[in-house]
Amino acid sequence: MDLKNKIIWITGASSGIGKALAIECARQGATLMLTARREDALEATRIACERSDEHRCLVHDVTDQESHAIVMSKILEAWGHLDMIVLNAGIGQRGSIEETSLDVERRIMEVNYFGCTEVAHAVLPHFLDRNRGQIVVVSSIMGKLSTPRRATYAASKHALHGFFEGLRAELYQTRIGVTLLCTGYIKTDISIHSLRGSGQSYGSMDDQHRDAMPGDVYARKAVRAMMRRKPVAYIGGPERFAPYLERLSPAFVRWLVPKVVTRD
């Protein structure tokens, strides 16, 4: 699928993977609605995109259920239709189960799970009316397995797979696609903004992300998968093979993961 002249809404577009995806989608010819909570950072993303004057920014919090319809109305007002939604907004975790409060667990689920499914509910009627569209979910390798100090984060991504695999099955006889991007370690600030068990930000970049795949490289691979309408794409370094290894030898992976994952 060619992205030229396609209208794409990207959540969490102010930084990291969202910003990289916005720049790459614009390079491929798409017109963008960029949303996130920080207006200044959104504007910086828009300006970094090719044909910056064609794109729109709107402050939006994925945990504010009533705001999703407002964004859709702005999209329809500006362009008349939406071709693709990229559900990227999310938050990371750096804390053991024992030290993580229930409030933090709920916050992670609200952002990472409900922040995707509720936006999907907002755009789905439009896609069904047109019998076309694509839902892209920025998930994680940890949507397939889990590691120490990331349990709630992994749970939120596992839940996304359950929901959107089910949605794909329900849309089988339509022209609406669902793409799950299973993302590995990417060089972004996600670890800096990740939540500790207390709810405070982790505040530093961990080694896995410091030495990881650059965001622009990830974006090119991800957008290629989106254009091919792949059901699932694994993107990252060697960690992207972990789900395949887990299928072959789950006992070995259970033994290995606690030994190789950094206990920050």
pLDDT in tens, 105-143: 999 999 999 999 999 999 999 999 999 999 999 999 999
Over residues 220-237, the pLDDT tens digits come to: 999 999 999 999 999 999
pLDDT score of 263: 55
HSE-CB at 166 with a 13 A cutoff on CA atoms is 8
pLDDT score for 210: 79
What's the pLDDT band for 10 if we cut at 50, 70, 90?
very high
Q: Between 205 and 167, where is the model more confident?
A: 167
What is the chain's mean pLDDT, rounded? 94
> How would residue 193 be classed by pLDDT, with cut points 50, 70 and 90?
confident
Predicted TM-score (pTM) of this structure: 0.95
What is the distance between the alpha carbons of residues 133 and 179, in angstroms, rounded to a whole number? Answer: 11
C-beta contacts of 224-227 below 8 A and 24+ residues apart: 225/179, 225/181, 226/1, 226/3, 226/84, 226/86, 226/134, 226/136, 226/179, 226/181, 227/1, 227/2, 227/3, 227/28
Confidence class of residue 1 from pLDDT cuts 50, 70 and 90? confident
pLDDT of residue 68: 98
Query: Strand pairing partners for 84?
Result: 8, 134
For the chain, list the domains and their CATH numbers. Answer: 7-260 (3.40.50.720)
Whether 206 has a pLDDT exceeding 80, the answer reads no
- Do 94 and 196 contact (CB within 8 A), yes or no? yes
Report the catalytic residues.
153
Residue 159 has pLDDT above 90, yes or no: yes
